[in-house]
């Protein structure tokens, strides 16, 4: 991987000519302006463009997109003292290179605190968002709720902070595209503009959460040479996968998401919110754009498939990132985010790292929020040092400097030693413990298969027996272990804690009773009092029982093999608690159910399994021994006095002593068989026990018997069952019994 020299050490850059040429080209398309209402003055950035002034009067922003003290957010602050002051604030318009529409962009530059400090050579932190009003309002950009935590923390640390309103929002023209191709091009153009300013050091970083955490991937996908780092919080990399994963649509998937951003574009950014009238009226030409998004949303919600028009494919941001991007990534995601699933970034992150992209992870037990939210409630995910953490990252990636802050205590960090202030993986597990690691899941984790026993217990080996359970929708019941309408598989309480991370995968066989069923899985940690803590979840429409782009036909009554991934997690089952898997037909994370959910028959036992990356305790009964066997004979009917061969095939894990049982009136040729250790006759029971030689390296045992003769020898005799010894007890093996008819010789 290559990156540009930030110039922070005073060395001369090697890309001045290239940047100079790019700057000249960018300046030709940039049309800066100053709105009369703002009171800002023109600078030498360029001539003023004709202003599309907002209508006079108060502004109204129902969703809180406007700026002002009443919209101030609760965020943490950088601990280092200021190195700069607030400098020039400016709003510019760019003509979109895609179609000429207006792109509205604002920024605040720092300025030196002392006369001997250089003025310029500033890196830029950008937020590209639909959640801002027209930037030319009288309020300062610095006070805008959507970038306030950036301006207040980083301008005085020597960073320019910028915000661009994506098309169809704020003061930008065009139609709101919901991550479309032209919007992607606009964001990429804004990065180039900021990277080519004379006051810029050529390094731009994009940061944001949710929609604003999606826009960083747009410029990364394009391989923009000025994009040095991105910090996406809970961003969407594939909106189709978010809305319709494995055929199970979200409630937002049936046209709600396009409709929401239609409202954002037209209602929230009406002239009463400060948007210029001409800009707003241009959006009146967009209904066809929104209608297409709504139509394909309904199509995908019903079929689970991508539309044939390419609407969703255009909005997949993953392709090209690993191939084109040369910057770095600080990936921030809440493992309890039920708005943007963690599977949007994991395991895809492994592909980014494999491509040589510097990718660090910050995963916590929080939802769709910032890591420094929740101070007043004292939430365990709250990180008082979050802004220091970010500053350390930006100093490294945008300036080429190093900065060590103070971070919460974490497993693997010695406070008396020097360490990377931004570890490769900084993660919080479900026990609210933070730890650092070189990779995630951390190295102690290794693949482990937990088999779903027919007795409702996890096992370490496949269960030779199988059983079935019925899963159905029950509105009166919960989805916790043992609830009505569910199938539950649970471990014994663990002696030491059990940990798992990554993406567990469930493999099992189900038989549907209709052509459109679905299956949901939950993982719980259950304590000694029976209280269940949810660790993870997954849901699949059985038309997508196996991963694939197209739905398969589900035939009622025909068994299906199902592969169901659980959302990424980092979980702890404490000592004394147990791990529980609950199969049901509930709904999670806003996902909808089948239109008419119908029961499923779920098979446990056999090869049904849950594959996890885990370490720590064994899961109790999952490690219990297993044994199976069968009998083979050379006949089922004998003449009196005949010799009969008895063959037993016994598989035991771990190996165990084997004992067979024959009628007491039969004679065992013990001395003639290497496999017979001894015999014991129980006259009261009328049987002889045949103890076979222990054999750890084989499973087949053979010996001979002589059947009785004479008129009293005629009759039907029972053989077996064979048994294995476990803890001093003889455990019979099903499948090792047989009946034999003997015809004795008459006198």
Confidence of residue 149 (pLDDT cuts 50, 70, 90): confident
Averaged pLDDT score across all residues of the chain: 81
Rounded CA separation 105/32 (Å): 9
Assess contact for 668 and 707: CB atoms under 8 A: no
Q: Which helix (H) or strand (E) holds 437?
A: strand 434-437
H or E element in which residue 662 lies: strand 658-663
Strongest mean pLDDT among 497-506, 636-645, 707-716: 497-506
Which residue did the predictor score with more confidence, 471 or 216? 216
pLDDT at 49: 39
pLDDT at 338: 82
Share of the chain above pLDDT 90, in %: 43
pLDDT of 365? 92
Residue whose pair of structure tokens reads 């059990």 in the numeric block:
498
- pLDDT-wise least confident of 25-34, 344-353, 388-397: 25-34
Closest among 582, 485, 588 to 525, alpha carbons compared = 582
The whole-number pLDDT of residue 257 equals 63
**pLDDT computed for residue 256 by the predictor:** 59
Domains and CATH numbers, the chain: 16-240+316-402+412-437 (3.40.50.1820), 446-623 (2.60.120.260), 626-743 (2.60.40.4060)
* pLDDT the model gives residue 445: 93
Strand 578-584 with 518-526, pairing: antiparallel
- Max Cα distance, the chain (Å): 129
Across the beta sheet with 676-682, the strand order is 676-682, 687-692, 658-663, 723-726, 729-732
Query: Does residue 654 carry a pLDDT above 70?
Result: yes
Could you check whether the bond before residue 654 is cis, i.e. omega within 30 degrees of 0?
yes
What was the pLDDT predicted at 269?
57
**Position 57 pLDDT exceeds 60:** no
Q: What pLDDT band is residue 173 in, cutting at 50, 70 and 90?
A: confident
C-beta atoms surrounding 356 within 10 Å: 11
Question: How does DSSP assign 108-174, residue by residue?
Answer: EEEEESSTTS----EEEEEEEES----TTSSS-GGGBTTTHHHHHHHGGGT-EEEEEEPTTSTT--S
Q: How confident is the model at residue 354 (pLDDT cuts 50, 70, 90)?
A: very high
Angle between helices 287-303 and 256-263 (to 10 degrees): 160
Of 675, 603, 662, the closest CA to residue 453 belongs to 603
* Sequence-ordered list of residues with C-beta below 8 angstroms from that of 94, at least 6 positions apart, any chain: 29, 30, 31, 102, 103, 105, 189, 190, 193
| Average pLDDT rounded to a whole number, residues 137-164 | 84
**393-420, pLDDT tens digit by residue?**
999 999 987 665 554 455 555 555 444 5
Q: What are the structure tokens assigned to 178, written together?
A: 């919901």
pLDDT average, residue stretch 311-328: 90
Residue 562 pLDDT greater than 90, yes or no? yes
- C-alpha pair distances (Å), 501 with each of 339, 440, 535, 571: 20, 8, 10, 6
Please say if the pLDDT value at position 133 is more than 70.
Answer: yes
**Predicted confidence (pLDDT) per residue in 685-730, tens digit:** 899 999 998 766 678 999 999 999 988 889 999 898 898 888 788 8
Instruction: Find which of 411-425, 564-578, 648-662 is predicted with most confidence, using mean pLDDT.
Output: 564-578
- Give the pLDDT band (50/70/90) at residue 145: low
What pLDDT, in 10s, does the model give residues 22-45? Answer: 333 333 333 333 332 232 333 444
User: Of the ranges 301-305, 352-356, 365-369, which one carries the lowest mean pLDDT score?
Assistant: 301-305
């Amino acid at each position: 991987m290559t990156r540009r020299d930030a110039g922070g050490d005073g060395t001369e850059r090697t890309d001045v000519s290239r940047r100079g040429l790019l700057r000249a080209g960018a300046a030709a398309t940039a049309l800066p302006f100053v709105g009369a209402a703002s009171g800002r003055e023109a600078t030498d950035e360029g001539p003023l463009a004709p202003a599309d002034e907002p209508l006079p009067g108060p502004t109204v922003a129902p969703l809180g997109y406007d700026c002002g003290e009443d919209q101030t957010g609760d965020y943490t602050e950088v601990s280092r003292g200021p190195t700069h002051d607030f400098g020039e604030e400016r709003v510019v318009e760019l003509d979109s290179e895609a179609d000429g529409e207006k792109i509205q962009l604002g920024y605040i530059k720092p300025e030196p605190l002392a006369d001997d400090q250089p003025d310029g050579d500033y890196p830029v932190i950008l937020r590209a968002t639909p959640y801002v009003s027209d930037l030319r309002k009288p309020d300062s950009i610095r006070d805008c709720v959507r970038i306030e935590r950036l301006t207040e923390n980083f301008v005085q640390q020597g960073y320019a902070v910028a915000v661009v309103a994506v098309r169809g929002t704020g003061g930008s023209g065009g139609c709101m595209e919901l991550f479309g191709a032209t919007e992607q091009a606009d964001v990429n153009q804004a990065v180039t503009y900021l990277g080519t300013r004379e006051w810029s050091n050529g390094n731009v970083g994009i940061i944001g959460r949710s929609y604003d955490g999606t826009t960083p991937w747009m410029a990364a996908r394009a391989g923009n040479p000025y994009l040095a780092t991105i910090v996406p919080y809970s961003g969407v990399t594939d909106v189709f996968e978010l809305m319709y994963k494995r055929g199970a649509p979200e409630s937002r998937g049936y046209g709600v998401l396009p409709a929401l951003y239609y409202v954002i574009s037209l209602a929230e950014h009406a002239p009463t919110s400060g948007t210029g009238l001409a800009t707003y009226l241009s959006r009146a030409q967009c209904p066809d754009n929104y209608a297409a998004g709504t139509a394909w949303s309904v199509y995908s919600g019903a079929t689970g498939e991508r539309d044939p028009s390419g609407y969703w494919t255009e909005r997949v941001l993953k392709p090209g990132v690993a191939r084109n991007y040369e910057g770095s990534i600080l990936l921030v995601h809440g493992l309890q985010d039920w708005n943007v699933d963690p599977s949007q970034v994991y395991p895809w992150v492994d592909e980014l790292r494999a491509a040589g992209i510097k990718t660090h992870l910050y995963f916590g037990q929080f939802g769709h929020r910032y890591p420094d939210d929740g101070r007043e409630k004292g939430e365990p995910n709250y990180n008082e040092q979050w802004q220091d953490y970010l500053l350390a990252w930006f100093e490294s990636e945008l300036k080429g400097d190093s900065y060590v802050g103070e971070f919460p205590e974490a497993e693997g960090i010695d406070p008396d030693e020097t360490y990377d202030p931004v570890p490769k993986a900084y993660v919080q597990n479900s026990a609210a413990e933070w730890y650092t690691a070189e990779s995630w899941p951390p190295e102690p984790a290794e693949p482990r298969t937990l088999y779903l026993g027919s007795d409702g217990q996890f096992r370490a080996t496949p269960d030779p027996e199988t059983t079935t359970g019925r899963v159905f929708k029950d509105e009166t019941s919960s989805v916790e272990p043992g609830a009505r309408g569910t199938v539950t598989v649970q471990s014994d309480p663990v002696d030491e804690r059990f940990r798992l991370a990554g993406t567990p995968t469930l493999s099992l066989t189900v038989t549907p009773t209709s052509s459109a069923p679905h299956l949901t899985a939950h993982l719980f940690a259950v304590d000694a009092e029976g209280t269940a803590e949810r660790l993870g979840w997954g849901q699949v429409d059985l038309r997508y029982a196996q991963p694939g782009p197209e739905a398969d036909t589900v035939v009622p009554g025909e068994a299906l093999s199902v592969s169901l991934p659980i959302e990424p997690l980092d979980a702890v089952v404490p000592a004394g608690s147990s791990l529980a898997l609950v199969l049901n037909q509930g709904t999670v994370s806003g996902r909808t159910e089948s239109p008419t959910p119908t029961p499923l028959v779920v098979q446990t036992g056999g090869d049904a399994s849950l594959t996890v990356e885990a370490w720590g305790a064994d899961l109790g009964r999952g490690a219990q021994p297993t044994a199976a066997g069968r009998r083979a004979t050379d006949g089922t009917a004998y003449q009196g006095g005949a010799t009969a061969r008895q063959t037993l095939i016994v598989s035991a894990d771990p190996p165990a002593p084997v004992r067979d049982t024959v009628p007491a009136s039969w004679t065992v040729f013990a001395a003639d068989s290497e496999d017979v250790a001894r015999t014991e006759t129980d006259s009261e029971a009328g049987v002889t026990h045949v103890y076979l030689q222990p054999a750890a390296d084989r499973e087949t045992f053979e010996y001979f018997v002589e059947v009785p003769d004479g008129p009293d020898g005629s009759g039907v005799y029972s053989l077996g069952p064979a048994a294995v010894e476990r803890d001093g007890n003889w455990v019979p093996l099903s499948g090792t019994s047989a009946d034999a008819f003997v015809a004795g010789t008459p006198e």
